[in-house]
Structure 1
Amino acid sequence: MRSRRRRSWPATASPVEDENLLPEILLRLPPEPSSLPRASLVCKRWRSILSDPDFLKRFRRHHQKPPLLGFFRGNSMSTEHHFTPVLDSPDRIAAARFSVPNNSNKHWNFVGCRHGLAILVNMCLRQVMVWDPLTGQEHRVACPPGLVFDPEVHLVYWEAAVMCADAQDGHVHGDCFSRPLKLVLIWVIGYRKAFSCLYESASGLWGDIVSMESTDMMFGIRPGILVGSALCWVLCGANVLVFDVQSQHLDLIKRPVDCPMNTTSYGFVQVLRMDDNRLGLAYLSKLTILLWERKSNCDGVVTWVFLQKSIQLQQLFPRRMFTRCKKMIITGYDEDTNVIVLSTIRGVFTLQLDSMQIKHICKRVGLCLDTFYPYTNFYTTGELAGDCANLKCEHMRCTNILSLLKK
């Protein structure tokens, strides 16, 4: 009787040893700041993969949406701006990690962030600066030649915005400093006349200055948001100044007729980016946030529509919050994560408008009047506020991921 020999199969490499599979597994680490720095401590091989620029591009492309790391905060009365982290340990980034450049000139005003980049304006030097908080790189652009006014004579309100203009298929915003950029500068002179101008880094030139006049007073410009191809800034009085980047057209959208607003209600109104890239408006009335959205009516005319889903803040905050004072103002908004910033006498809070989740981000006694500029990006390397050197803990976490993917 012939004995049967057992057929031997070649040994298969484990996911940890597979040269092709391991990068695919590491791509699926969470996009939080501690993930890649801590995983890179496991071994030299992992560190080599995680530090590869091509891997980092794939990592951003896989996750698409960068996390909200924190806010740069400051006010128009001061050029001092500081970073306020919002993530918990071990993902919390030290506030000192992002030091806003001041150089030797103290007249740089921080005016916003988008696509991982910050923008500052110095009207004394007539310059705009694009700054990458992750790398510290700076790029200065002289203001358009037609920007002529005497601050001693004219009362001028101005704002600016930056956006990545990379149209390459698959590009995910985050590493955009060396990519084509667009800058938009707007300013209002004498309450009635607004101007705007677009700069494109691809040509290194400013476009034509666009202007418009309004019978309504225009002042108190809040930081802008990007809705589709339009940059939108809300003014005191809830009118919205809109600049379409594609058509380079400047317009003013009147506030909703049913919005209980007056021209002095700064801090109670905020433009929002709604679903399907529609423009929205939030108005804080006592402890209730009322909402409007721009929609087309049956005749195809776009108008403000009042939404029934008002937000009752008393139901979200602890009762003790409002025993002494019910004062609250809106001090910021992140268009990417749909997070609004609320300042109270007990500190500053974020409110995620989809989940209605409240988070305390800044302790304070008294109402904070600073503006909070959101900063979102993939933080894939660098120092964290927490201890990221616990190799054993991180090795166990990554091993658990591998074991789950082997099943």
Structure 2
Amino acid sequence: MEDDTTTTAAKDAVSMVLRLDGLLIEILLRVAFPTTLVRAAAVCKRWYHLASDMGFLRRFRKLNPPRLLGLYIHGSPVSSTQRFVPVLPEPPELLAAAVRTVEGYSFPTRESEANLARHCWNGSVFTTLCGNLYGYQLQHEVHNPLCPRATAISINPPLTFNPAPPATGFEVLTREEEDGSLSYYYVFMELSYDEIGSTVPPKHWTARVYMLQDGI
């Protein structure tokens, strides 16, 4: 009889805790894995609304950053092939199917082109498509290897890159916005010498900044 009373009291205490939204949110924030959060959100409508709130999801991402699935490697800057290498050991609760999907994803290229992974974030892969068939050009794309049916997003028009003097350089920067979306910034720098081979510091710099925000 005493055991039944203790069990009932424990159930009542748990039920009282789960009725408090603030405390329930703190519990859901610490489930650690997105897959567990999805299961929790399926318990009832109340849990679903708490777990799908944008403010909650931002806090969840901060406490539980995405797990590293693996790395892309390629042999040389001019190589058109690269492969995905999963990390070992795999993180707990990571579906093997997700890794196989990424391993089987190929970045589309044509003759005399190389598509190189430059940056990865939250399942999106930012690539640079290099081609010299009709003059050297750079075409930047965003791929989602976890959803191979999704169409790659291209930055148009293609950005021309001249490896010969005047000297040039570029970098891709990323920033996560408050709503969880991702912005890409392409910074292109060009400097001009008065004469080719001159050792005099350049006097003229040109900077171009391009921005891609969630495919726009």
TM superposition score normalised by structure 2: 0.55
User: Could you say which residue in structure 1 is the equivalent of 2:107?
Assistant: 102
Q: Which runs of 5+ in 1 are unaligned?
A: 1-10, 188-194, 204-407
Q: Normalized per residue, which structure has more helix?
A: 2
Q: Is the 8 A contact 2:186 2:209 kept in 1?
A: yes
Give the length in aligned residue pairs: 176
Asked if residue 88 in structure 1 is aligned to residue 110 in structure 2, the reply is no
User: Could you say which residue in structure 2 is the equivalent of 1:313?
Assistant: none
Q: Normalized per residue, which structure has more strand?
A: 1
What is the RMSD computed on CA atoms of the aligned residues?
Answer: 4.6
User: Could you say which residue in structure 1 is the equivalent of 2:154?
Assistant: 140
Secondary structure at the counterpart of residue 36 of structure 1: helix
For 1:96 and 1:186, the matched residues in 2 are separated by 38
Q: Is the 8 A contact 2:189 2:207 kept in 1?
A: yes
Q: Which runs of 5+ in 2 are unaligned?
A: 1-11, 132-136, 191-204
Quote how far apart the aligned CAs of 1:16 are. Answer: 1.9
Please list, as runs of the form range in 1=range in 2, the aligned pairs for 1:36-115 lying within 5 A after superposition. 36-40=37-41, 42=43, 45-61=46-62, 63=63, 65-76=65-76, 77-86=79-88, 87-91=90-94, 93=96, 94-98=98-102, 100=105, 102-103=107-108, 105=110, 107-115=113-121
One-letter code of the match for 1:58?
R
Distance change >3 Å, CA 15–CA 83, structure 1 → 2: farther
Distance change >3 Å, CA 108–CA 78, structure 1 → 2: closer
Q: Is the 8 A contact 2:109 2:115 kept in 1?
A: no
> Looking at both structures, which has the greater relative contact order when contacts are Cα pairs under 8 Å and sequence separation is at least 6?
1
Distance change >3 Å, CA 202–CA 92, structure 1 → 2: closer
Which residue of the other structure, out of 163, 184, 195, is the alignment partner of 2:173?
163
TM superposition score normalised by structure 1: 0.33
Quote how far apart the aligned CAs of 1:176 are. Answer: 3.4
Distance change >3 Å, CA 18–CA 129, structure 1 → 2: same
For 1:58 and 1:33, the matched residues in 2 are separated by 13
Quote how far apart the aligned CAs of 1:26 are. Answer: 0.3
User: Could you say which residue in structure 2 is the equivalent of 1:118?
Assistant: 125
Please list, as runs of the form range in 1=range in 2, the aligned pairs for 1:227-238 lying within 5 A after superposition. none
Q: Is the 8 A contact 2:67 2:91 kept in 1?
A: no
Q: Is the 8 A contact 1:74 1:80 kept in 2?
A: yes
Q: Is the 8 A contact 1:115 1:176 kept in 2?
A: no
Distance change >3 Å, CA 25–CA 80, structure 1 → 2: same
Could you report, residue by residue, the CA deviation over 1:115-153 in whole angstroms, capped at 9, with x for unpaired residues?
4342211221531113345565633224434x235xxxx
One-letter code of the match for 2:94?
D
One-letter code of the match for 2:60?
F
